[in-house]
Amino acid sequence: MPTETTTKRGRPGYDQQSVLQIAVDVFNRHGYDATSMGILAENLGISKSAIYHHVPSKGDLLKLALDHALGGLEAILEEPGAQSGPADARLEFVVRQTIYVLVDRLPFVTLLLRLRGNTEIERDAMARRRSFDHKVAELISAAREDGSLRQDIDPRTVTRLLFGTINSIVEWYKPGGSLSKEKLADDVITIAFDGLHASK
């Protein structure tokens, strides 16, 4: 995942992080496969050779971008709120934090969700994403088993609908608008959990 310690300075006017931000925007607009180094250079306003001062290849840009998205998601599962407490509370915490990561890293998560698995880098990222999804699905199952979530709905349906709702945010959410990430998370949780909580 790109950090201040791993970012290296390249040609004047750009560092690796700023090159990465523009590259992710281009990948999302044109598709990773259809984006050549020439298209990247054109969008950056530098020569193709200048890009190599920042990264060895287009694939390295993709890996950095996907690590940034996945690193944020995977870190959620290591936080205390995801590790201890009732299963439904842990699930709610993970859902909220997932929405925060999605909003904070929107272009990067958008790229992740649009992968086709055409390269080894993409397939590795998709496997990491499936692992994250599987761990959230385990929380849903645990909450059903302890009676905090209703049991009359197939857990696979719950998982798919919950992920589908969260993943759809990348298609319509506009950062900086009137809907904050906190209110967005509140709304998603209200819609999902008011329908999922078991009758008291």
Rounded to the nearest 5°, which phi and psi values hold at 71? -60, -40
User: How would residue 13 be classed by pLDDT, with cut points 50, 70 and 90?
Assistant: low
Per-residue pLDDT at 154? 86
Residue 2 has pLDDT above 70, yes or no: no
More confidently predicted of 14 and 147: 147
DSSP bridge pairs for 164: none
User: How would residue 43 be classed by pLDDT, with cut points 50, 70 and 90?
Assistant: very high
Rounded to the nearest 5°, which phi and psi values hold at 9? -80, 135
Fold of 66-196: Tetracycline Repressor; domain 2 (1.10.357)
Three-state SS annotation for the chain: CCCCCCCCECCCCCEHHHHHHHHHHHHHHHCCCCCCHHHHHHHHCCCHHHHCCCCCCHHHHHHHHHHHHHHHHHHHCCCHHHHCCCHHHHHHHHHHHHHHHHHHCHHHHHHHHCCCCCCHHHHHHHHHHHHHHHHHHHHHHHHHHCCCECCCCCHHHHHHHHHHHHHHHHHHCCCCCCCCHHHHHHHHHHHHHHHHECCC
Residue 23 has pLDDT above 60, yes or no: yes
Per-residue pLDDT at 71? 98
Residue 7 has pLDDT above 50, yes or no: no
User: How would residue 80 be classed by pLDDT, with cut points 50, 70 and 90?
Assistant: very high
Per-residue pLDDT at 8? 41
Residue 6 has pLDDT above 60, yes or no: no
Q: What is the pLDDT of residues 144-179, one digit of tens each?
A: 999 999 888 888 898 899 999 999 999 999 988 899
User: How would residue 114 be classed by pLDDT, with cut points 50, 70 and 90?
Assistant: very high
Average pLDDT over all residues of the chain: 89
